[in-house]
A and B are shown apart, each in its own frame.
Chain A
Amino acid sequence: MYKEPLDSTSSSNQESTLGFEFRGDGWEYFKIWIVNVLLTIITIGLYSPWAKVRNKRYFYSNLFLNNQSFRYLADPFSIFKSRLIAIGALIVYTFVYFTYPIVGLALGLLLIISIPYFINKSIEFNHRMSAYNNIQFRFKGSYFGAVMVLLVWPLLGLLTLGMLYPLAWLKMNQYIVNNSSYGTSKFNFTATAGDYYKIFFICLGTLIPVGGIAFAIMTFATGYSFIGAVLIGVAYVGTIVYFMVSTANLFYSSLMLDPHSFQSELTIMGMLKVMLINLFFTIITLGLYFPAAQVRMTKYISSCIAMNAHGSLDSFVAAEKENVSALGEEMGEVFDFA
C-alpha cells in the first residue's frame, strides 16, 4: 500500500516534479455525504458542524502530494460553539435593528468595521486547521492590510470603472499568500500586475468583438437573430471558463515556498468537460450527484497542479503553538461576508 516518498536525503539539490493527486471516490463520498445530510436534517441543523468537518476531512485526507496526505484538524465542537455565538449575534443585531434603529445602525457600523478582523481570523483558522506531514499552515494578516485589499482596492476598481480591478485582485492574492506560511516557511506570490491585466484584456478582447458582431446580426439580420444569441452564449461561457482556468493557473504557478515552486496546467477544454458532465448529472439526479461532482472537480484540479521540489521536503519546521477560535469563520458564514 505505501509507496515510498521521494527519498532525497542524500542529495539536497535534487529537483523533481511532484504532482498533487486526489484519491477520493464519488460513490464513497456520496455515502458519507448522505449520512451527514440526513443527520443534519433530523437534528434540525445541530449536527452540521460535525458534518462540515467530516466532509472536509474527506477532501483533505484524500489529497496526496509525494504519497503523503493532507489533514483537516478542526474540532466540530469548537465550530459549534462559534456558530452559536455568531447566530446569537445575528439575532441580537436583527432584534436591535428593528426595535432601536439608531443603536442598530451603530451595531451595523461596528460589524462593518470588524469584518476585516473576522476575515483575517477566518483565514487564520482555516490555515491553522490544515496540515501536511503533521505541520500546520499559518496565516498572519494585519487589520490594515485586510482593509486595503477588502475595501480600498475594490473601491478604486469601482471608481475607475473596472480598470483597476486586475490590480485589486493581485493585491488581494498577494495579501493572502504573502501572509501565509507552512510551518515556519513563508509563502511568496510572484505574479505581476501584467499577468492579471493580460487575462483581463483577453476577456474583454473576446467579449467586446463577439458582442458587437452578435448585436449587429440581431439588429440588421433579424431573421438570423438566434445565431447572435448562440454566439453570445458561447462567448460568455467560454470567457467565464477561460477566466476561471487562467486565474487558477496563474495563482498556483505564482506560489513559491522557497526553494520550491508550483505549476498548474488546467485547460479550458478539460475544465469545460468536467463542468458539463457535473452539470448534466447534477440536474438529472436533482442534486444527488452533487457530492460526486465535487469529487470529480477536485480530482481534475489536483491532477493539473504539481510542485517543483528542489531538494527534500523533510526539513519544514512546525510553527509555535497557538489557538485560533472558529469565530471568524462562523461570523463570516452567518453574516455572509466570508
Chain B
Amino acid sequence: MISIKGYFYDGQTSKRHQGRLDVYPDSNLVSLHIYNEHDRPIKEQYAMDDLKIESRLGQTEREIVIQEDKLFVSDDHDSIDLLCEHTNHHPFNSLLHKLENHIGLVVVFTLLTIVSIWSTVVYGVPYMAKSIADKLPTVVEEQFGTGLDVLDNSILYPSELDEKTQQELRIFFQPYLEAHPHLKPKVAFRTGVGPNAFALPHGQIVLTDELVEMVENHHELLPVLFHELGHIEHKHLVRRALQDSMVALVILFITGDVESMDIMAGIGALIIDLTHSKEFEREADHYAIKKLAEFNISTDYFVTVMKRFSNYKKDKISEQDNPHYKAITDFLSTHPPTEERIALIKQFDNK
C-alpha cells in the first residue's frame, strides 16, 4: 500500500480538507480519507483509473485529479513517483522532470539551443533573406515608399548647397547613373546628419552637404556613389527588412510569447545587424571598387575619401587609443574599420 498525505478539494466548493490517499496497486483500489474539523473522517473508494497524476514540475505541489473534478494535492513526491509506476501515467511526463534536473543535460541543452539559434540567425536567416530578395518581383519592392519624406520630416533638412554646385554635380554624376538603368538611380542633396550618404528604396541616393564640402574634388564622391549603388544593386534594404522580420518570427517560435516579444526580437535584430551590416558594407565596397575599375577611375579616390571619413570621426569624438575601446567600437560599428576597407583596395589591385 502507498499512503499519501495531502489536501483534498471536492470540486464543488473552494474548501480545503486534510486528506489521505491510500493506494493498493495490487487490487487496483484507491481509498480516500477526508478529515473534517467536527465530523468523523469520510472514506471514499475509487479505482486506479479514476486518478490522473499531473507531471512533476519544479518544487510545486503534485496534483492528482480524481474523476475529472476532484483534486488531491500533496508534496510527498516520492510516494507519488512510486504511484506513477503503478498507473497508466505516461513515462514521458516523469522523464521531463529528470531532464530538467540533470545539471549536465541542462548545460548541453543550453549549448545546443545557443548553437541552433545562433546558426539560424547568423547563417540561415540571411541566406533565406538573400534568396527571397533575389526572387522578389520588383512590383513588391515598389510598394515600399522611398522613406525620404519621413527623413525630411525628422532628421534631414533641405540642402544649403547653391543651385550651381548642385547642377554641376548632377551633370557630373549623369553618365555613372545612366550606366545603371535597371536601378533607376536618383541623387538628392540634404543636410543635417554630418558627412554621409545613404541609399533608400527606389534607387534614391542621398548625399549630404557636409560630404560634398568635405571632399576636395568631385571625383572623390564617385566611390561613395558607387558604394550606395552597390547597396541598391544587392538589395540590402529589402534583405535587412526581411532578416529583421524573420528573426522576430524565429524568436516568437522559440519563446512562444507574444507579449514579451520586443526585447528578445530586439536582441535578435541587434545580433543580425551587427554581424551583417558590416557584410553589406563590404559587399557595397567591393561593388564600388569594381565600378571604379570599370570606369577607369583611380582607386586612390576611394582611399582618400575613406581617410577623410575616419579623420572626421576622430576629430569629432577624439577616439581614444585604447585597443579594448577600439575592439568594442569596431564590433558595435555598422561599418568595417577604415584600415580594413582601404586594405580591400590593395587586395583588389593585386588580383
Tell me whether A283 and B99 are in contact (CB under 8 A): no
8 Å CB contacts to A: which residues of B231-277? 253-256, 258, 260, 263-264, 267-268, 271
Q: Is the CB of B254 within 8 A of A37?
A: yes
Q: Which residues of B contact A338 (CB under 8 A)?
A: 258
A321 to B11, CA, bound (A): 11
In the assembled complex, B339 has its CB within 8 A of some CB on chain A: no
Note all chain A residues with C-beta closer than 8 A to B109. Answer: 34-35, 37-38
Assess A58 versus B57: contact at CB under 8 Å? Given A31-B101, A318-B12.
yes
As a 0/1 sequence over residues 165 to 207 of chain B, the CB contacts with chain A under 8 angstroms (1 = contact) are: 0000000000000000000000000000000000000000000
Please tell me if A261 contacts chain B, counting CB pairs below 8 Å: no
A287 to B14, CA, bound (A): 40
How many residues on B have C-beta within 8 angstroms of the other chain's C-beta atoms? 46
Contact with B along A1-40 (1 / 0, CB 8 A): 1100100010000000000000111001101101101101
Interface residues on A, range: 35 or more
A57 touches B267 (CB 8 A): no
Cβ-defined contact, B267 with A283, below 8 A: yes
Beta-carbon contacts under 8 Å, B36-79 to A: 37, 54-55, 57-61, 63, 69-71, 73, 75
Chain B residues closer than 8 Å to A45, beta-carbon distance:
253
| A51 pairs with B256, CB closer than 8 A | yes
Is the beta-carbon distance between B58 and A25 smaller than 8 angstroms? yes
B16 sits at the interface (CB 8 A): yes
B58 close to A28 (CB less than 8 A): yes
For B75, the chain A residues whose CB sits under 8 A away are 1-2
CB closest chain-A residue, reference B118: A286
Contact B106–A28 (Cβ < 8 Å): no
Cross-chain contact A290 with B255 (CB below 8 angstroms): yes
> Which chain A positions have C-beta within 8 A of B153?
none
Given known contacts A58-B57, A69-B61, A183-B14, what 6 new A-B pairs fall within 8 Å (CB)?
A38-B113, A48-B256, A54-B57, A55-B256, A61-B60, A287-B268
6 nearest interchain CB pairs? A134-B9, A61-B60, A314-B15, A133-B14, A316-B14, A134-B71
Some 28 contacts from A to B, beta carbons below 8 A apart, are A1-B75, A5-B16, A23-B59, A24-B58, A31-B101, A34-B109, A34-B113, A35-B99, A37-B109, A38-B112, A54-B55, A57-B54, A58-B57, A61-B57, A61-B61, A62-B60, A69-B61, A71-B71, A133-B9, A134-B70, A282-B267, A283-B263, A288-B114, A290-B264, A315-B14, A318-B69, A333-B258, A336-B258
